[in-house]
Amino acid sequence: MSNVGRFTKRTTAKLDYLFDWSLWLETGETIVSYVLTVESGITKVSDAKVNSDKAVVVWLEGGILGERYIIDCTITTTSTRIDPRRMEIEIGPY
């Protein structure tokens, strides 16, 4: 599984995070469906396909100071390719 990055957020922040496949997809290929998994302890506010169905955005809020949370997103494309990606969100004081 590819890791798309590690990010730090405050417990009070409500922010959007992007899983972007636009450089990986073939010409004309788009995301047909996706499965987004958010670890317990941080709140998923919403999620959606964006950027002409070439990326998935997830809005997150909350979390416990000092904890790290894993967010996974697996897509299926119009070419029936499947690709999982992961990001890590750390809750920090800054």
pLDDT digits (tens, 9 = 90+) for 3-38: 788 999 999 999 999 999 999 999 999 999 999 999
Instruction: Please state, in angstroms and as integers, the Cα–Cα distance from residue 93 to each residue in 6, 10, 17, 41, following that order.
Output: 15, 6, 19, 17
pTM given for the model: 0.93
Domain 2-91: which CATH number of 3.30.460.20, 2.70.98.30, 3.40.109.10, 2.60.40.2820: 2.60.40.2820
Cα–Cα distance, 80 to 36 (Å, whole number): 18
Q: Residue 77 pLDDT > 80, yes or no?
A: yes
pLDDT 10s digits, 34-49: 999 999 999 999 999 9
Residue 57 predicted with pLDDT over 80: yes
Angle at 49 between CA 72 and CA 6, to 5 degrees: 35
pLDDT number for residue 82: 98
56: Cα separation from own chain's centroid? 6
Domain residues of the chain, as ranges? Answer: 2-91
